[in-house]
């Protein structure tokens, strides 16, 4: 009995189990701990980078460089189609220009057909709906006046010659000479609106004509003929059918505007594409030059210079340039949209030389803000950091707009100096180039100071946010470590419990075996097999102990 008491063990609690083995839980926690430690390492590296901000001098140089490249790109594309046309065709509308339009073969051919119809007695006055008799001299009127078409800004955008629109068949209207001369360069709308006033004036003129005829020395027959002609001239004008004239005008304008719309769309698309390529090329060139120059500066600062190190710096510069390709494409897109918008507001743009650049810069800044706000890598940033970063983008846009206006002011001032008016091929006047440079320098410095202040604010915010993230991450690491320790303690406890349970089971089996052996020895009458049973029992005990 004493032997049994010495080897007795206590029942133990069943090991912790939630459907997973302790080994699986331990492996999962180990993986989680490694991931959190990796994240913590990244946060520490990020803090080191935040703690090494660009100095003001570098920010100024970068901003001035950026503004100079931006202003050159915008200056290369700030001329609208209307401005280009006016530059190439500075002459105002004149009688000579109007006569040249009438020398076009299409007008001459239509005029010949009109005269033939008049001789045949089949010619109808487009503005009255009546046949033109043999005594009435016919004229071929341009429904939409030549002068109006010549001065039409949309026509200039489309790059269409005035004669090609003026001499469309829809715009050529046969009428009487008197009505044509009365209409002159007025539009149909204007002519119809002035009808009442004009007809009252016509009657007074006719009365004066009759009085003059009566007071003349002509014979009665001549006076009668003169009176008839005067009345006919007036009647030809009074016979005007406003609805017919308006209908004729609407049909002519519809055909003309259709051609203009096609031309404007084509020319605008071509210009927008060219402008986008120019902007992308300039931005890419300046970015490449800046990257290479920065690489050279780092190379010259290095104490131990070598050709291998030089190549390494140049490779890094090229890689940095390639990584910016998306931004070049984005600037091209903003330029394309800006060109289209500036051409839509073409007549307004023509009033201000660089308004097209302002529109493009506005769209460029807007696209940059939208891109930053929607970028996946910025989603987890705090609202204050996002606002500060957007503030930098807006500041760059405002600075660029200021540079545009300032460069024009400086250019106008410099043009008072004769030498500054010298034109440099493909670049513009010396005053223009100087204005761009000075404006970019001044506005670049101002913008860089503002951006540097925003950078300082962002640095503090980012450091504070980074520190908070590190604390949170360390807390997560500690929590995971605590859970892992608990799991390992549970694992040790489980092993200990299993060991105690095994010992208990062995003791119980040993007890049964010994009891069975004792019964055999002392109570079994068949002693012939006792030795064999004892040997068997000894073997079982040996196996159990092993």
**Same structural domain, 533 and 426:** no
pLDDT greater than 60 at residue 19:
no
Q: Flag whether pLDDT at 511 surpasses 70.
A: yes
Which one of 13-17, 147-151, 196-200 scores highest in mean pLDDT?
147-151
Same-domain status, 351 and 465: yes
Confidence of residue 173 (pLDDT cuts 50, 70, 90): very high
CA-based nearest residue to 75, from 220, 275, 260, 247: 275
For 195-232, the pLDDT digits (tens) are: 888 888 888 888 888 888 888 888 888 888 888 888 88
Per-residue DSSP letter, 525: S
- Residue 20's pLDDT is what? 58
Predicted confidence at residue 112, as pLDDT, reads 95
Model confidence pLDDT, tens digit, residues 95-105:
999 999 999 99
Strands 423-424 and 428-429, how do they pair? antiparallel
Q: Which residue has the higher pLDDT, 305 or 60?
A: 305
Mean pLDDT, the chain, rounded, equals 78
Assign residue 92 a region: left if phi > 0, alpha if psi is -120 to 50, beta otherwise? beta
Percent of the chain with pLDDT strictly greater than 70: 77
Give the pLDDT confidence score for residue 171 in this predicted structure: 95
Name 229's Cβ contacts closer than 8 Å, sequence gap at least 6. Answer: none
Residues 6 or more apart in contact with residue 143 via CB below 8 angstroms: 126, 170, 171, 172, 173, 188, 248, 249, 252
Number of Cβ within 10 Å of residue 57's Cβ equals: 10
Among residues 265, 295, 313, the one where a domain terminates is 265
Q: Are residues 274 and 242 in the same domain?
A: no
Q: What's the DSSP call for residue 53?
A: P
- What average pLDDT does the segment 477-494 reach? 80
Are the beta carbons of 484 and 415 closer than 8 angstroms? no
**Strand spans (E) along 397-495:** 423-424, 428-429
For 546, the token pair is 């092993």
pLDDT at 485 over 80: yes
Q: In the predicted model, what is the mean pLDDT of residues 309-334? A: 79
Mean per-residue pLDDT for 337-357? 69
Domain of residue 444: give its range.
45-86+266-469
Task: Give the position of tokens 């429904």.
Answer: 143
**Residues 372-401 pLDDT 10s:** 787 777 777 777 777 877 887 777 778 777
Identify whether residues 138 and 275 lie together within a single domain. Answer: no
Least confidently predicted of 105-109, 213-217, 427-431: 427-431
Instruction: Name the token pair of 316.
Output: 């890094």
Q: How many domains, in total, are found in the chain?
A: 3
**Does residue 484 surpass a pLDDT of 70?**
yes
The answer to whether residues 57 and 135 belong to one domain is no
Of 446, 469, 492, which residue is a domain's last? 469
Domain identity same for 430 and 448: yes
pLDDT above 90 for 149: yes
Quick: pLDDT tens for 32-88: 667 666 665 665 665 555 544 445 556 566 666 676 666 666 666 777 888 889 888
Low-confidence winner among 88-102, 196-210, 253-267, 506-520 (lowest mean pLDDT): 506-520
> Are 376 and 272 members of one domain?
yes
Average pLDDT on 409-417 reads 83
Are 313 and 390 in a shared domain? Answer: yes
On whether both 369 and 445 belong to a single domain, the answer is: yes
At which of 265, 293, 318 does a domain end? 265
Q: Are residues 284 and 376 in the same domain?
A: yes
Please state, in angstroms and rounded to a whole number, the distance separating the CA atoms of residues 201 and 207.
10
Are 413 and 339 in a shared domain? yes
Q: How far is the C-alpha of 190 from the C-alpha of 174, rounded, in Å? A: 19
DSSP state of 175: E
Alpha carbons within 13 A on the beta-carbon side of 78? 24
């Amino acid at each position: 009995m004493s032997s049994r008491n010495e080897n007795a063990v206590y029942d133990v609690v069943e090991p912790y189990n939630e459907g997973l083995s302790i080994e699986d839980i331990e492996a999962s926690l180990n993986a989680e701990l490694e991931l959190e430690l990796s994240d913590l390492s990244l946060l520490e590296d990020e803090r080191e980078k935040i703690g090494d901000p660009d100095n003001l001098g570098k920010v100024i140089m970068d901003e001035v460089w950026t503004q100079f490249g931006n202003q050159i790109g915008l200056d290369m594309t700030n001329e609208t189609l209307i401005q280009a046309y006016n530059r190439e065709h500075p002459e105002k509308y004149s009688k000579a220009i109007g006569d040249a339009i009438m020398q076009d073969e299409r007008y001459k051919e239509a005029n010949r057909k009109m005269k033939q119809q008049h001789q045949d007695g089949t010619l109808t006055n487009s503005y009255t709906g009546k046949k033109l008799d043999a005594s009435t001299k016919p004229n071929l009127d341009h429904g939409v006046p030549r002068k109006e078409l010549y001065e039409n800004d949309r026509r200039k955008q489309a790059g269409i010659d005035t004669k090609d629109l003026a001499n469309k068949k829809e715009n050529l209207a046969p009428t009487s000479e008197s009505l044509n001369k009365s209409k002159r360069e007025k539009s149909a709308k204007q002519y119809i609106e002035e009808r009442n006033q004009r007809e009252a004036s016509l009657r007074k003129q006719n009365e004066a004509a009759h009085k003059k005829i009566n007071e003349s020395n002509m014979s009665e027959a001549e006076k009668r003929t003169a009176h008839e002609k005067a009345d006919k001239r007036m009647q030809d004008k009074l016979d005007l059918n406003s609805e017919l004239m308006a209908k004729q005008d609407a049909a002519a304008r519809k055909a003309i505007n259709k051609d203009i719309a096609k031309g404007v769309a084509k020319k605008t698309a071509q210009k927008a594409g060219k402008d986008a390529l120019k902007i992308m090329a300039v931005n890419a060139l300046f970015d490449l030059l800046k990257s290479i120059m920065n690489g050279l500066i780092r190379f010259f600062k290095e104490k131990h210079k070598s050709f291998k190190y030089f190549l390494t710096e140049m490779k890094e510069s090229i890689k940095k340039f390639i990584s910016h390709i998306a931004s070049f494409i984005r600037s091209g897109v903003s330029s394309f949209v800006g060109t289209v918008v500036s051409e839509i507001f073409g007549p307004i743009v023509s009033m201000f030389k660089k308004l097209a650049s302002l529109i493009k810069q506005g769209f460029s800044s807007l696209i940059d803000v939208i891109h930053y706000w929607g970028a996946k890598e910025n989603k987890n940033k705090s609202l204050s950091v996002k606002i500060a970063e957007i503030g930098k983008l807006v500041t760059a846009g405002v600075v660029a707009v200021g540079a545009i206006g300032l460069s024009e002011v400086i250019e106008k001032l410099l043009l008072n100096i004769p030498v500054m008016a010298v034109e440099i091929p493909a670049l513009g006047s010396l005053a223009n180039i100087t204005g761009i440079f000075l404006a970019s320098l001044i506005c670049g410095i101002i913008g860089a100071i503002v951006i540097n202040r925003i950078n300082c604010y962002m640095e503090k915010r980012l450091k504070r946010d980074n520190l908070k993230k590190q604390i949170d991450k360390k807390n997560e690491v500690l929590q995971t470590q605590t859970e892992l320790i608990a799991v390992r303690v549970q694992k040790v406890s489980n092993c200990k419990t299993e060991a105690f349970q095994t010992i208990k089971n062995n003791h119980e089996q040993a007890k049964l075996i010994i009891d069975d052996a004792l019964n055999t020895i002392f109570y079994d009458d068949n002693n012939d097999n006792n030795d064999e049973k004892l040997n068997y029992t000894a073997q079982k005990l040996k196996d159990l102990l092993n």
